[in-house]
Amino acid sequence: MKISKTDPRLTAYAFGEIDDTNERTEIEQAIAADPELQAEVENIRSMGTLLEAGLDVEAVPELSEFDKARMEQSPVPQKKASPLRWLISWPAATATIAAVFALMLIPQLDRIKMSLPENIMTSDPEEVTYRELQVDIPPELIEGTPMPIKVPGLEPAATEAPRIMVAESGNEASYTVNIQQRSKSTPLPRQQSIAVNNPSELDIPALDIEVKVEEGSAYGRGFGAVGGGLSAVREMAASDAAPAPARLRPNVPKPEPKQGWNTEKYDPIEDTDFRSPLVAPLSTFSIDVDTASYANVRRFLNQGQLPPADAVRIEELINYFNYSDAAPTEALEDGGDPFAVHMAQASAPWNPQNRLLRIALKGYEMPWEDRPSSNLVFLLDVSGSMNSANKLPLVKEALQLLTRRLDQRDRVAIVVYAGASGLVLPSTTANNTDTIEHALNNLKAGGSTNAGAGINLAYKVARKHFIEGGNNRVILCTDGDFNVGQTNRGDLTKIADEQAGEGISLTILGFGMGNYKDDMLEDLSNKGKGSYAYIDSRAEARKVFLEDLASNIFKIAKDVKIQVEFNPEQVQAYRLIGYENRRLKAEDFNNDKKKAGDIGPGHSIVALYELIPVGGEVDLPGVDALRYQKQAKVERVHGEIATVKLRYKRPEADTSRLITRTAQSEDMVHFDRADEDLRFSAAVAAFGLKLRGSETIGDFSYPQIERIATDALAKDPGGHRSEFTELVRKAEKLSE
């Protein structure tokens, strides 16, 4: 038999796929007789090996314990054809039942209806009256083999588990309910055992579910990633202390149709209280030029939701806006200062007895043509989770905006990461616009994320093309869903920290929602010493890459720290609004090894202090008099509120310079007479405090905030301030 080189059987033979013995023998003989065919088979096999190896590199999606548990679980059992109706005592059982259902039926959650019947069954006055919760499950969900749900790592000890046992019966009668509190000496608050019995005494158990609904630990471990839906469950589980029946409906966990499981993550923010300058005379913090929180808050409000309190970082809200504070006019190379410092005071709008101290920094507005050469490495997350209209397409657009403004002095490279990471655009000068556009246009999302390998590669490319004295920067575009490989937050931030030390900064652009890991990105950008912006729309992409481009990708000063010393003769107590995660120790201020935030050209950075003047009403926890030290003597310095000190370094310098300013008591004006920038930043601060649920501004209302902002729109280039007033209105509606 003669076999041609292109016969498909040759391929089949090479992989041992010829089952027919005769046929195999024939092919074998043909190959033995023809060295060309032998070479062909060898080539086919080596291609197969190459493919196996190549496909093997493609990352296997990481399945969490929860994913696996979900896959292992059997369909909801019960062979009954008619809807199953459970009557269960309210309130004790509700929480448990709801939790059980949520866990059991996660994909079909929306198909189960729970309702309170209109008429409450009256019974013997001696007996406890039960309110009943009816649970209707569509019959098609009730089939298959009864199986316990197993969630590894969550399996409760047998005696502690709340358990629901439903007896199956041929008749349709309603079920009576027994609730037994399984307790030893003290009742366990959220661990009830519920038995639902059939009055007909037909004792055929059909359903046996074990779920641990203990608060805290269970969610913390196994379900950490399931945010939204389960937190509703958690709320229910926690609200078993006799809630009003009316609360039942809103509490029923209802999956949001579009968003699916919300697994966004935010680090907690603790509001700072007023402090006495006698106890803590110095307030020290690093500047923060991020704006991500504002865009993220806006995204929530535009979606018709109030943002979670921890997503609101007030300093990022305030610094989102541009203020008209004067910038230094002298060019940097002529020895000019990189930024100007402005201070102003006015009464606090929410409490006229208190005063606001506004400290504003304004970066030198470097002409675009004077900018340093840039070596930019874009690190793009192209994992599956980036595959939506508000993510990857926006990234592309944003990068196109940016690269169009660069030229032959600048270098651009693109590294992508997903299942594997790779260099899709080797570092090339920015005037090769066609090459860059081509690379951008060919980006497609898919696969899971291994940010670690991508970050390493990006820094490697950046180091290779390092520009001495230039702007060397990795720009990470991601939704922050690092789910494969080096996902350890500590490891990633360590890399960013080290590379920042070597002169490569990290700018972070956050995209998307639902799975947004704000905590991680904020931390990374702080360590990587770059700015962190959140891009939720085309308009925001334009703001970041056109209006504020220079501020976001260049720096004119680094390690900028602020330390304020308050005069106890004037100030009884003070608090810094925002900057909670930027606080520094007092001694870090003069320590040049201690890093802090960078300032870019034209950046506006504003910090607001609220001060309670001496004589004001405040109840502060004091400290006892020291036994081994003399209390520092208060110097009587009249007329001074505070001394504001700033330290910064030139981008290439190792030692810091000091700027000192004094805030004079007499500079205070009534709030209405303060300038627009102070009034507007106060409105933004109040808005942030309000969204964070802070009680420190009393019952100051959204309409009041809106009015202040509307009066302080000023010129409003870009319309950002008007947009703010709309957000205030939205928040007001949502909080009604």
Partner 1 sequence: MKNEQPSPDSEWMRTLVDAHAADLTRYAASILGDSESAKDVVQESFIRLWREPRQDVADHVRPWLFRVCRNCALDARRKGGRMRPLNEVDTATRPAEGISPEESAEQSDSHAQVMGLMQRLPENQREVVRLKFQNGLSYKEIASVTELSVTNVGFLLHTALNTLRAQVAVTGE
> Within positions 9 to 28, which residues make up the interface with partner 1, using CB under 8 A?
9-12, 15, 17
Closest listed residue to residue 61, CA positions, set 574, 484, 410: 484
Please tell me the distance from the alpha carbon of residue 191 to that of residue 451, in angstroms, as a whole number. Answer: 41
- Residue choice 4, 32, 54, 121 for contact with partner 1 (CB under 8 A): 54
Least distance in Å: CB of 460 to partner 1? 12
Phi, psi for 362 (deg, rounded to 5): -130, 120
Binding part of the chain for partner 1, among 212-220, 235-243, 317-325, 382-390 by CB under 8 A, reads 382-390
Q: Report 231-250 residues binding partner 1 (CB under 8 A).
A: none
- Residue length, the chain? 736
Calculate the CA 297 to chain-centre distance: 11
- Residue choice 83, 139, 372, 426 for contact with partner 1 (CB under 8 A): 426
Give the number of other Cβ atoms within 10 Å of residue 372's Cβ: 17
Q: Report 523-582 residues binding partner 1 (CB under 8 A).
A: none
Residue 423 within binding range of partner 1, rule CB under 8 A: yes
When the beta carbons of 67 and 711 are compared against partner 1, the nearer one is: 67
Residue 431 within binding range of partner 1, rule CB under 8 A: no
Phi, psi for 241 (deg, rounded to 5): -85, 50
Binding part of the chain for partner 1, among 4-12, 243-251, 570-578, 614-622 by CB under 8 A, reads 4-12
DSSP, res 215: T
Q: Do the strands 282-286 and 557-566 form a parallel or antiparallel pair, or are they unpaired?
A: antiparallel
Residue 75 within binding range of partner 1, rule CB under 8 A: yes
Residue 87 within binding range of partner 1, rule CB under 8 A: no
When the beta carbons of 147 and 278 are compared against partner 1, the nearer one is: 147
Closest listed residue to residue 286, CA positions, set 32, 561, 666: 561
Please tell me the distance from the alpha carbon of residue 404 to that of residue 402, in angstroms, as a whole number. Answer: 5
When the beta carbons of 293 and 421 are compared against partner 1, the nearer one is: 421
Coil vs helix vs strand at 310: helix
Number of residues that bind partner 1 (CB under 8 A): 74
CB 477 within 8 A of CB 532: no
CB 305 within 8 A of CB 228: no
E strands, 650-705, are 657-664, 668-669
Residue owning tokens 């007895």: 353
Q: Report 259-318 residues binding partner 1 (CB under 8 A).
A: 260
Binding part of the chain for partner 1, among 6-14, 24-32, 226-234, 501-509 by CB under 8 A, reads 6-14
Q: Which two tokens stand for residue 145?
A: 């083999």
Integer Rg of the chain from CA? 32
Residue 61 within binding range of partner 1, rule CB under 8 A: yes
- Residue choice 447, 470, 480, 601 for contact with partner 1 (CB under 8 A): 447
Please tell me the distance from the alpha carbon of residue 570 to that of residue 634, in angstroms, as a whole number. Answer: 11
Least distance in Å: CB of 508 to partner 1? 19
Binding part of the chain for partner 1, among 41-49, 128-136, 335-343, 585-593 by CB under 8 A, reads 41-49
- Residue choice 29, 38, 42, 58 for contact with partner 1 (CB under 8 A): 58
CB 166 within 8 A of CB 202: no
CB 693 within 8 A of CB 311: no
E strands, 118-192, are 131-137, 163-168, 176-180
Q: Report 200-229 residues binding partner 1 (CB under 8 A).
A: 203, 205, 208, 210
- Residue choice 68, 489, 657, 673 for contact with partner 1 (CB under 8 A): 68
Binding part of the chain for partner 1, among 44-52, 230-238, 544-552, 672-680 by CB under 8 A, reads 44-52
- Residue choice 229, 307, 308, 419 for contact with partner 1 (CB under 8 A): 419
Could you tell me what percentage of the chain is helix, strand and coil, using 3-state DSSP and rounding each to the nearest 5? Answer: 35, 20, 40
Q: Report 114-153 residues binding partner 1 (CB under 8 A).
A: 143-145, 147-148, 150
Q: Which two tokens stand for residue 584?
A: 């520094």
Least distance in Å: CB of 466 to partner 1? 17
Residue 424 within binding range of partner 1, rule CB under 8 A: yes
Least distance in Å: CB of 528 to partner 1? 23
Please tell me the distance from the alpha carbon of residue 474 to that of residue 476, in angstroms, as a whole number. Answer: 6
Least distance in Å: CB of 73 to partner 1? 8
Binding part of the chain for partner 1, among 49-57, 489-497, 526-534, 577-585 by CB under 8 A, reads 49-57
